[in-house]
Structures are given as structure tokens and as C-alpha cells.
Amino acid sequence: MSAQPPAKLPKWVQDHLTAYLLTDGAAGHWYDASAKGGPKVVASLLLTTIGRKSGQELQLPLFYGESPEGPVIVASKGGAPDHPAWYLNLEANPEVKVQVGGDKYSARARTVTGPKREALWKMMNSVWPFYDAYQQKTQREIPVVVLERI
């Protein structure tokens, strides 16, 4: 089964995913986010989940930070009131595939809480400085997820 991008991705996300896949991570791992008002360069990975409804592999690029336990991602959806579909997918099935640059591996997704979440949230705000603003836009606590290599 070949992974597919989720439906209705914005063009800039589609382009980012395509560059990542065509170059096996050589282009796409470091994303120039300055056009989005963000930092000049942000590290991104590819996350592949199993669709909780479709059963299909779905793949998309996400910004990430580094922790001793594995890459850290944030289910912000820009501060929308509901979680992103990829997060709902990994809640249903935490076994995921990850690609960081050219490194591809299986991982277990784990949502962190409490003081660990707070520390990783702060770290992720240094990666993408908009997460605090996203949190202010929504009533939900935005999940922070660690991808532990298995």
C-alpha cells in the first residue's frame, strides 16, 4: 500500500510534500517558512498514519523539534477548535511511520501531558513561534506528541 496525502491539503503543503518525496528528504526536510511569516528555516518530517475511517496510509509534512525520546510534533491545526485528522488517526492507531530527511523508521506516537508537555510546548514555540497564538485561539489543549522509534 502506497501512502497518500490527505485530501484538501493547501498548495504550499502539497508542494512541500512533493519536494520531500521526490528528493528522499534532501529537499523538504528544511522548509523555508519566511513566506509564511515564520523563521527562515524550519525542520520538517513526514508522518504517515493509518486513516481511522479509510484504513489507508496518509502522509503529510509537519514541523518538528528534537527531544531525547524522539521527534516532537504539535497538533495545532492553526488553533482550530478541533484536532487535525492526523492526530485523530494516531489516537486510533499510534503505530506510525516517520521520515526525517532520508531516515525512515517506524514509531509509536505518544501524547505527553503535565510538566513534560509544558517543557516540550516551550521548546516547540522556539521552533515555530506561532503555537502560543494558536493555543489562544482555541478552547482545546493543543496536543504535543513524541514519536518514539520502535
Q: Which residues lie across from 148 on neighbouring strands? A: 108
Predicted pLDDT at 28 = 85
pLDDT at 1 over 70: no
pLDDT at 61 over 70: yes
Phi, then psi, of 50 in degrees rounded to 5: -100, 125
pTM for this model (two decimals) = 0.91
Q: Residues 37-53: what's their mean pLDDT?
A: 89
pLDDT at 94 over 90: yes
Phi, then psi, of 12 in degrees rounded to 5: -65, -30
pLDDT at 17 over 70: yes
Separation of alpha carbons 56 and 64, rounded Å: 23
**Do the Cβ atoms of 16 and 44 come closer than 8 Å?**
yes
Q: Residues 21-42: what's their mean pLDDT?
A: 83
CB atoms within 10 A of CB 124: 22
